[in-house]
Amino acid sequence: MQIVAIHNIESGVGKTSTAVNLAWIAAKNGLRTLLWDLNSRAEAGLFLGANSDPNTRMSNELAGRVTLADQIIGSDYENLAVVPGRWAYRNLEQLINGAADPRRVVKSLLKPLADEYDLVVLDCPADEPELADSVLAAAEIILVPLIPGPQALDGWQHVLDICRNSRLPVSSIYPFLNMIDYRIQLHREWLVVAPAELPRLFSAYIPFAHAVERMSITRQPVAESDATDRVADAYQALWQELKRHLDEPVSDS
Ligand SMILES: Nc1ncnc2c1ncn2[C@@H]1O[C@H](COP(=O)(O)OP(=O)(O)OP(=O)(O)O)[C@@H](O)[C@H]1O
Ligand SMILES: [Mg+2]
């Protein structure tokens, strides 16, 4: 089982959209995929038809034996299951606050599922520093969506700082550009200069696309609702690049 976190402390940069579309592509490619929505607003599952409540075993919760397996629900798609966000809100903070080593919490919750899933995609919340440590420690690869502009560099620096403060390797953190609007000069410039400024920047990037905005209406990944839109190809390219890194051992640089 491999774990990928889509993370940025900044809000509204495309974490959930990316997590949903990448998880869908992974599942379509035959990987048994779990999308874990770590947000309290529980949005990610809605895009995948996973909108029921988990069949929570109340006795387990009452007895304090909270397992992630109890919280998994199916989606509209083969090979793709979801942990809806509400659970993160209710239980995860509690577990992290009460843990001797909070950094191990996410990883140890996933451990019992190692034989059931090939890939876990973590849709991270913005601005949850306690959770960030645990999520970043669990993930083999951390993808950081960045929208061109000065704030992007702050968001990027923030992820690096969390990792350095927690003595986590930064070599597994990869930024990529999202919401590229070719009409905006700054965005066109970033496509040229960002590779030199941002280490490990993915060459794949996601254009600004109404198909992504419409996900809140279609309630589907873009390749289901707008298969011919170029943004569907862009998510494919992002997946291919991610997959290459997942298949390679990470070098510690
Ligand atoms: N490539 C894109 N083109 C157009 N709109 C996009 C794109 N990516 C994301 N969006 C839109 O930007 C908004 C924020 O996206 P999203 O919810 O994925 O971000 P987030 O980082 O998960 O936000 P939050 O921090 O609030 O959880 C949404 O309305 C989404 O539809
Ligand atoms: Mg989100």
Q: Which atom of ligand 1 is nearest to the CA of 207?
A: 1
Give the mean model confidence (pLDDT) for residues 83-112. 86
Does the pLDDT value for residue 79 go beyond 70? Answer: yes
Q: How far apart are CA 170 and CA 111, in angstroms?
A: 23
Q: Write the pLDDT tens digit of every residue in 35-44.
A: 999 998 878 8
How much is the mean pLDDT over the chain?
90
Residue 227 lies in a domain: yes
pLDDT band at 253 (very low <50, low <70, confident <90, very high): very low
User: 40: domain range?
Assistant: 2-247
Residue 28 lies in a domain: yes
Residue 97 lies in a domain: yes
Q: Write the pLDDT tens digit of every residue in 15-68.
A: 999 999 999 999 999 999 999 999 988 788 889 988 666 655 544 555 566 688
Query: Following DSSP, what letter does each residue of 157-202 receive, concatenated?
Result: HHHHHHHHHTT--GGGEEEEE-SB-TTSHHHHHHHHHHHHHSTT--
User: Which residues form the pocket of ligand 1, taking CB atoms under 6 Å from any ligand atom?
Assistant: 11-17, 39, 126, 178-179, 206, 208-209, 212-213, 215
Residue 253 lies in a domain: no
Q: How far apart are CA 42 and CA 24, in angstroms?
A: 17
Query: Following DSSP, what letter does each residue of 73-100 receive, concatenated?
Result: EE-SSTTEEEE-HHHIIIIIHHHHHH-S
Q: Which atom of ligand 1 is nearest to the CA of 39?
A: 27
Structural domains counted in the chain: 1
Task: Tell me, in angstroms, the distance from the centre of ligand 1 to residue 15's CA.
Answer: 7
pLDDT (0 to 100) of residue 235:
98
Let me know how many helices (H) and strands (E) the chain has, helices first. 12, 7
**Residues 6 or more apart from 162 whose CB is under 8 A from it?**
9, 129, 132, 133, 136, 168
**Cβ–Cβ < 8 Å for 64, 18:** no
**3-state SS string for 10-55:** CCCCCHHHHHHHHHHHHHHCCCCEEEEECCCCCCHHHHHCCCCCCC
CATH of residue 53's domain is 3.40.50.300
pTM of the model: 0.94
Task: Tell me, in angstroms, the distance from the centre of ligand 1 to residue 215's CA.
Answer: 10
